[in-house]
Amino acid sequence: MDIKAVILAAGKGTRMKSVTTPKVLHEIMGKTLLGYVLDNVKNFVSEEFVIVGHHADEVENFVKTNYDNAKTVLQSPQLGTGHAVSMVCPQLENYDGLVLILCGDTPLVREETLKEFVNFHKSKGSDITVMSTIFDNPYGYGRIIRENDDSLKCIVEEKDANSVQKAVKEVNAGIYCLNWGKVKLAFGELKTNNAQGEYYLTDIISWGKAQKLSVNAYILENNDEIFGINSRLNLAQATKMMNRRNLEKYMTEGVTIVDPESTWISEDTTIGQDTIIYPATYIEGKNTIGKNCKIGPCAHLRGGVEVLDNVKIGNFVEVKKAKISSNTNVGHLSYIGDAELGERVNIGAGTITANYNPLTKVKSKTILKDDVKIGSNSVLVAPVTVDEGANVGAGGIITKNVPSWALAITRSPLKVLECWVKRAAK
């Protein structure tokens, strides 16, 4: 059965205290919160709808720039979560498949979890399925109230719950799977008779029960996955939770993380076996790192980096949007950006690729072919190519292409003034 996704991303996110950035575009290790949610569903849904509102233009631009299969739908004014979903009704008027509803501020939900959730919905023959989880302290969450047969009776929001309902520890995780053909009519019949005066998405449960539909709840075992981002504190907490999960995965797959407490690696990075990541290394964005590499300590990979096998990236090295081929070494205190390094290249300490022209705002590429050697404290001013086997002397400022097996030197002749120190001291 076909599946489409609706992602709620219209909220203002007042507690983020952000003037310029909408909540769902805040980042964890170089990737937006909304980006995580979109990526977690894009491989098994046919179409994604992002409901936008606050800072709609910025969110819409992000979606259009990065996701071909996603559309944005404006919610204005924002009258609640039920109202938000109703915004897609015109686009899905003749649709009769499944609709998966998620929140744009829950980046920790895994693709595997969402697939299991949809499979549960199908196996139960359910028309409406809500994802739930258990919290020892459920304050702030809508409570899951079940029937005697364990099916879902209703969801009661914190502000509307009585003392008995507030004692329930099973809570609404905010993710829904709907048989759209049967449930779409609910969004024209929701009411605002609640403490917030809004159209609650949760009210589709009582609507479904009244229509004699099959309504169920799927319990998510790991409640970390539905951790929502409502503040900068939440953002920092979610970042730590995600990083811990990522590092555990890499170590399980044969990667040595010398100090997990000081190492940060994005989930969109792949790392080969027997690679060692040294302390205080930060790897963000999407990257590929091969086998038997040594990265760090204190290295920073900023995304778009492809590192092949047996590469060494030393301490205090920054790499961005670059390919580094096998058996190449990048010495400490270097910057490699918008570059392509061949095999068996050696980059001396303190070398930088000057890739940005501040006048034209254009970034250009540096290409170093196989067996190139770059002396310490060199500057490679892009666009520039150093051909196979060429050497650049220490302190070189390279503004022109260097041919194969040549030596490029730009330093001034050394002057030695004998006894100068003793004379100056008199």
Per-position DSSP letters for 202-252, written without gaps between them:
THHHHHHHHTT--EEEEEES-GGGG----SHHHHHHHHHHHHHHHHHHHHH
C-beta atoms surrounding 286 within 10 Å: 15
For residue 28, which of 40, 36, 20, 16 has the smallest C-alpha distance?
A: 36
The reported pLDDT for the residue numbered 201 is 93
The length of the chain, given as a count of residues:
426
Q: What is the DSSP secondary structure assignment for residue 53, as one 8-state letter?
A: B
Give pTM, 2 decimals: 0.91
Cβ atoms of 262 and 296 within 8 Å: the answer is no
Token pair of 226, please? Answer: 């539905």
The reported pLDDT for the residue numbered 414 is 87
Q: What type of residue sits at position 231?
A: S
The reported pLDDT for the residue numbered 412 is 86
Domains and CATH numbers, the chain: 3-226 (3.90.550.10), 232-358 (2.160.10.10)
The reported pLDDT for the residue numbered 12 is 85
* Residue 83 annotated in active site: no
The torsion defined by the Cα of 13, 16, 20 and 24, in degrees rounded to 10, comes to -50
Measure the CA angle with vertex 335, ends 331 and 340; round to 5°: 90
The reported pLDDT for the residue numbered 198 is 86
DSSP-based helix, strand, coil % in the chain, nearest 5: 25, 30, 45
The reported pLDDT for the residue numbered 413 is 87
* Candidate list 83, 121, 300, 332, residue with the active-site label: 332
Spans of the chain, pLDDT less than 50: none
The reported pLDDT for the residue numbered 257 is 98
Cβ atoms of 409 and 397 within 8 Å: the answer is no
Measure the CA angle with vertex 421, ends 416 and 425; round to 5°: 155
Positive or negative, the CA dihedral 51, 56, 60, 62 is negative
The reported pLDDT for the residue numbered 308 is 98
Note the helical H segments in 42-186. 56-66, 81-86, 111-123, 163-166, 180-183
For residue 48, which of 92, 105, 93, 12 has the smallest C-alpha distance?
A: 92
Q: 3-state class of 366 per DSSP?
A: strand
The reported pLDDT for the residue numbered 411 is 86
The reported pLDDT for the residue numbered 192 is 83
Cβ atoms of 4 and 98 within 8 Å: the answer is yes
